[in-house]
Amino acid sequence: MSGEENKSVTVFREFLKIRTDHPKPDYEGSTTFLVQKAKEYGLECEVYRETGLPIVIMKIEGSDPSLPSVLLNSHVDVVPAVRECWNTEPFAAIKDENGNIFARGTQDMKCVCIQFLEVAARFVKSGKKMKRNLYLTFVPDEEIGAGQGMEPFVETQKFRDMNVGVAIDEGLASPTEEFTVFYGERAPWWVHITAVGNTGHGSRFIENTAVEKLMRTINKMLQFRHDQFTDLHKGHHECGKKLGDVTTLNLTVLKAGVGEGPFPNYSYNVIPTKAEAGFDIRIPPTVNLEDFLKQIREWTSEEGLSFEFANYTAKNEMTGVTDDNTWWKTFKQSAENIGIKLVPEIFPAATDSRFIRNLGIPAFGFSPINNTPILLHDHNEFLNEKTFIRGLDIYEQILPNLVNL
Ligand SMILES: CSCC[C@H](NC(C)=O)C(=O)O
Ligand SMILES: [Zn+2]
Ligand SMILES: [Zn+2]
């Protein structure tokens, strides 16, 4: 590409090069980078460490700081990248002749981190005072469940003092012209089932074995999976359900057998007394979670079966997307005014927004990326620089309407 690179794109590419990939994210590197940028741009900034890992907090004070604030939240960590599956070095942020930037985090979600930072810099530079406080938080560990990130942070006095009225966080790329906006997420339940049963010689008909009991419960659960799959795929593609509207259930862990692998180091002629299965279940916010818990109890009610949760939430709040929610009305109207169509959906996976919504605070998941394949967590993740720049302009035009509401 000829000509000088857009300055915000350069900042984006610099940020992509910081190795915040799990399992050992360089949070000191990302923190130093962000603090330095805040200083350069004249943004108020502090690093909060009371919950363990660093959280970078930036602020633009409003003319009426007593009003609930607007929070722009982004996570700085990224998932690992398998070098041999990529066509370029995943942390080199190589830009090709079409302006496509290839790196882990281009979509999820270092683009949004830097767009929030750069748009805040534009607001400071404009010198125009806005009504509410505007906060930016850059948080760690979203990709591994937020146990040392957003989850404890929302419980702190620091967070309460920010008096958040609405939060904007990540969404997904959209392969079409329209943009998706997420107003809720499916509850992630990770269920671990253990079965115990009779043992004996592998040559006999032993009854009520652990594996047999586990198989019965697995079959019931996979039947439920099949019904949900059918529900998702029936009807018109246009008006039918989306992934976020149905419950997915996947058998992801399976363990049994006497002996230690690898093959063939097992006692093939000994009936094991214990067998285990783990499921990743994602439940839409429209489903009653107490009823679903009852369902799991029923599936595992046979004698010798028990279950525990590796991940569980009893709460899964949604943000209203009707006109009586003035945050939503303003967001939607502001997007329409600049010719952008927002399609509200339920996020199929889990993000930091769930902790904010569960406090009763409205939150929208929105990444201003359209006409782009969804490549989060995938090989050769990329974003075009023009899409990045347009996203920055979109935020610049929409956000003041929320901050001035
Ligand atoms: C239970 S926390 C797990 C969080 C993770 N988030 C993403 C975006 O992959 C997930 O949905 O599996
Ligand atoms: Zn993400
Ligand atoms: Zn992710």
> Is 233 annotated as contributing to ligand binding?
no
Identity of residue 197: G
Does the domain spanning 7-185+316-403 belong to CATH 3.40.630.10?
A: yes
Q: Taking residues 112-122, what's their average pLDDT?
A: 98
Distance 348 CA to ligand 1 centre (A): 9
Is 393's pLDDT higher than 80? Answer: yes
Mean per-residue pLDDT of the chain: 97
236 annotated as ligand-binding: no
Task: Compute the average pLDDT of residues 315-333.
Answer: 98
Burial classification of residue 224, based on how many CB atoms lie within 10 Å of its CB (0-12 exposed, 13-18 middle, 19 or more buried): middle
Cα–Cα dist 314/305, whole Å: 22
Ligand 1 pocket member 90 (CB < 6 A): no
* 75 appears as a binding residue in the annotation: yes
Query: Considering every ligand atom, which ligand is closest to the CA of 312?
Result: 1
* One-letter amino acid for residue 43 of the chain: L
Tell me how far CA of residue 298 lies from CA of 63, 245, 304, in angstroms: 56, 23, 13
User: pLDDT class for 3, splitting at 50, 70, 90?
Assistant: confident
Averaged pLDDT, 165-170:
98
The ligand with the least distance to the CA atom of 347 is 1
CA 127–ligand 1 middle distance (angstroms): 39
Which residues have a Cβ under 8 Å from the Cβ of 76 and sit 6 or more positions away? Answer: 20, 25, 27, 30, 34, 56, 110, 113, 138, 139, 140
C-alpha distance from residue 263 to each of 257, 266, 271, 345 (Å)? 11, 7, 17, 45
- pLDDT value of residue 291: 98
Gap from CA of 43 to ligand 3 centroid (Å): 27
Specify the 3-state DSSP secondary structure of 199: coil
List where CATH 3.40.630.10 sits in the chain: 7-185+316-403
Per-residue pLDDT tens digits for 234-264: 865 566 899 999 999 999 999 999 998 899 9
> How far apart are the CA of 105 and the centre of ligand 2, in A?
8
Say whether 170 counts as a known binding-site residue. Answer: yes
Catalytic residues, which ones?
A: 77, 142
Looking at the chain, which residues constitute the CATH 3.30.70.360 domain(s)? 187-311
The annotation status of 143 as a binding-site residue, yes or no, is yes
In the reported structure, the alpha carbon of residue 395 is separated from the centroid of ligand 1 by a whole-number distance in angstroms of 25
The burial of 277, by beta-carbon neighbours within 10 Å (0-12 exposed, 13-18 middle, 19 or more buried), is given as buried
> For residue 2, what pLDDT band results from cuts at 50, 70 and 90?
low
Q: Which ligand is nearest to the CA of 109?
A: 2
- Would you say the CB of residue 351 lies under 6 angstroms from ligand 1? yes
Residue 70, pLDDT above cutoff 90: yes
Name 273's Cβ contacts closer than 8 Å, sequence gap at least 6.
Answer: 196, 197, 198, 199, 210
Task: Give me the mean pLDDT over the 308-318 stretch.
Answer: 97
- Residues lying with their CB under 5 A of ligand 2, a single-atom ion: 108-109, 170
Separation in Å, CA 240 to CA 221, 282, 287, 318, 404: 24, 19, 18, 20, 37
Atom of ligand 1 nearest to the CA of 190: 1
**Rounded-to-integer distance, Cα 218 and Cα 399, Å:** 47
Q: Which atom of ligand 1 is nearest to the CA of 376?
A: 8
Query: With a 6 A CB cut-off, is 349 part of the ligand 1 pocket?
Result: yes
State how far the Cα of 347 lies from the Cα of 365, in Å rounded to an integer.
Answer: 8
* pLDDT(1) > 60: no
Residue nearest to atom 5 of ligand 1 (CA): 350
Cβ–ligand 1 distance for 311 under 6 Å, the answer yes
Mean pLDDT, range 199-206, rounded to an integer: 97
- Quick one: which H or E segment has residue 30? helix 27-41
> pLDDT at residue 33 above 90?
yes
Return the ligand 1 atom nearest residue 79 CA: 9
Q: Per CATH, which fold does 187-311 belong to?
A: Alpha-Beta Plaits (3.30.70)
